[in-house]
Chain A
Amino acid sequence: MVRRRVLSLAAFVLAFGLGASVGWAEIRVVEPDKPETLPAFALSDHKGQPFTAERYKGHWSLTTIGFTSCPDVCPFVLSNIVEVISQMTLRVHPDKLPQVVFVGVDPGRDAPVMADYVAHFDPKFIGVTGPHEELAKLVTGIDGFYRIGKAKKDGDYEVQHSASVIVTGPDGQVHAKLSPPLDPGKVAEYLARKQIAYARAQRSN
């Protein structure tokens, strides 16, 4: 069991002195004691290209789990991430903007519409799906969860999935888990500071 510590923004206010105007607990971050390595998995992106753990290396990423026929939460979270990225453009170099990965855990319904789906939010977003056994590897690797419910009379079925947004670093490892709704400005600030701390740690190594 990996021991985790839960940090509310209040902890960052103390640590970084962001100022008194910052509200309590508006972003919730869970950071592992040590960055966690992603397991091997073989999925495909919305362009049909292989998507493996390698695709996480060399840049920061934000990953969220969902399904394309989710009417409320998934589009809400993705739009929320669009705002985070837009806030980050004010704080970091364009090369440092995180890659955004949407993991569709309902491959039958997700694969046919994935390209249009992610492009609707941002043409740079990456939509990923694949067989359940491969999805399970990535989802478990980011400490996530999903479950496909039984089909109802009309053929529709429920999909339950973790709510968090996973932050991975250029080392391809999991550095943090954010709980939506994400306050765009505060999350952008958190991520920018995370990048600075990471770069500093890399230099001193």
Chain B
Amino acid sequence: MTSNLYKTCLGCLTGTAMILSAQTVQACEAHAFLTTQTAEAKTASHQGPVMAMDAWVPVAPPGVKAHAAYLVLMNHGADLRAVTAVHSPQYASAAIHASQVKDGVNVMQHLAQVDLPAGSSVAFKPHGLHIMLMGPKKPMAQGDTVDLALTLDDGTTVAVKAEVRKRGAAAPMNHGHMGHDHKGS
């Protein structure tokens, strides 16, 4: 994960043209500072060392009972954390899944937990890690907000507001400006 960390911080540095020492720790502090600002702007949450940003739920076709939520989780703490459960009051159930292609076949795997290594970010994005939301209690439309509660292994909860929006060219799958794009995942 060191390389991810490096990429994340490097993305941040190049993105803002800030001149800082290339020392990882400093770069990451800068990153944390910047993401806090971005997070406030995007109404993401920042309660503890683990924070969420860019949370969104693609508008699902009408009648479809399975939705997906995507976000980026960052662990700015010094300890390994893990997401162990997800809940949304607007859905009957929520779970963490990973879409994988095995021998050319799409397989969805249920994950009991997702590790968040210290100083690292994990991207939940289309065609990969995602939060599967089953059974919307009411239809979700563009502009709506989905409340997500992510339970961590230390018993704390990260509250996240995910925006319902259309999939499209601007979907975060390709936005690498913050360096969150984990190539090859």
Contacts and interface: CB of A to CB of B under 8 A. Distances in A.
Q: Do A and B share a complex?
A: yes
Interface of A: 66, 68-73, 75-76, 79, 83, 112-113, 116-121, 145, 154, 156, 158, 160-164, 179-181
13 contacts: A68-B61, A69-B64, A71-B64, A71-B66, A71-B132, A75-B68, A113-B62, A117-B64, A120-B59, A162-B105, A163-B101, A163-B106, A179-B104
A83 B126 CA distance: 15
A158 B26 CA distance: 45
A69 B97 CA distance: 14
Given A79-B167, A158-B108, A160-B106, A73 B62 contact: no
A116 B62 contact: yes
B134 interface: yes
Contacts, number: 90
Contacts of B101: 163, 179
B76 interface: no
Contact of A73 (B59, B106, B134, B171): B106
Contacts of A120: 59-62
B32 to A, nearest CB: 29
B61 A156 contact: no
A75 B58 contact: yes
Contacts of B108: 70, 72-73, 158, 160
Contact of B105 (A71, A72, A145, A181): A145
A73 B105 CA distance: 11
B68 A72 contact: yes
Contacts of A179: 101, 104
Nearest to B70: A72
B155 interface: no
User: Chain A's interface: helix, strand, loop or mixed, by majority?
Assistant: mixed
A179 B97 CA distance: 21
A163 B104 contact: yes
A145 to B, nearest CB: 6
Given A71-B66, A116-B61, A116-B62, 17 more contacts: A70-B66, A70-B106, A73-B106, A73-B126, A75-B60, A76-B127, A79-B167, A116-B63, A117-B61, A117-B64, A118-B61, A121-B61, A156-B134, A160-B108, A162-B104, A164-B104, A179-B104
What is the interface residue range for chain B against chain A?
Answer: 20 to 34
A79 B167 CA distance: 7
A122 B2 CA distance: 42
B161 interface: no
Given A72-B99, A83-B169, A158-B108, A113 B64 contact: yes
Contact of B167 (A69, A75, A113, A118): A75
B68 A71 contact: yes
Contacts of A70: 66, 106, 108
B80 interface: no
B128 to A, nearest CB: 8
Contacts of B64: 68-69, 71, 113, 117
A69 B106 contact: no
Interface string B59-103: 111111111100000000000000000000000010001010100
Interface string B99-118: 10100111110000000000
Contact of B63 (A117, A154, A156): A117
